[in-house]
Amino acid sequence: MSEPTASPRPTPTRVPTPTSKVAYALLGAMSLISFGGPFGLALLLSGGEATGWPPDRAVEWAGAIGLFVAFAVCLVACLTVGLWLIRPAPTAGDDPPPQP
């Protein structure tokens, strides 16, 4: 058998894209809601005539529902952040992105 004469093709190098500040802010908001939310809900439900579940005041209902909605929105946003923060891949003729 003969030795191959062509040199191997160079492998393209991928430059990692920096993580967006929006993703970090979203992660911080999700962490705050996940860890502080139960304490806020307990504090909110401690007022009124009856403590505990179900809430007896409208503000307790609004606070509990608002906390659950905020958690669901942050959860969906964290799970889909890769889809809505996609940057187009640079082509060969483009300048490299600026470094911070």
pLDDT at 71 over 90: yes
**Cα separation, 6 vs 10, whole angstroms:** 12
Contact, 30 vs 79, CB < 8 A? no
pLDDT band at 61 (very low <50, low <70, confident <90, very high): confident
The predicted structure's pLDDT at residue 100 = 60
The predicted structure's pLDDT at residue 22 = 82
Long-range contacts of 85-93 (CB under 8 A, 24+ apart): 85/20, 85/22, 85/23, 87/17, 90/15
**5-58 pLDDT per residue, tens:** 666 676 666 666 667 788 888 889 999 999 999 998 888 888 777 776 777 788
Alpha-carbon Rg for the chain in angstroms? 25
| Overall pTM > 0.75 | no
Q: Which residue has the tokens 């890769």?
A: 82
**Cα separation, 87 vs 55, whole angstroms:** 45
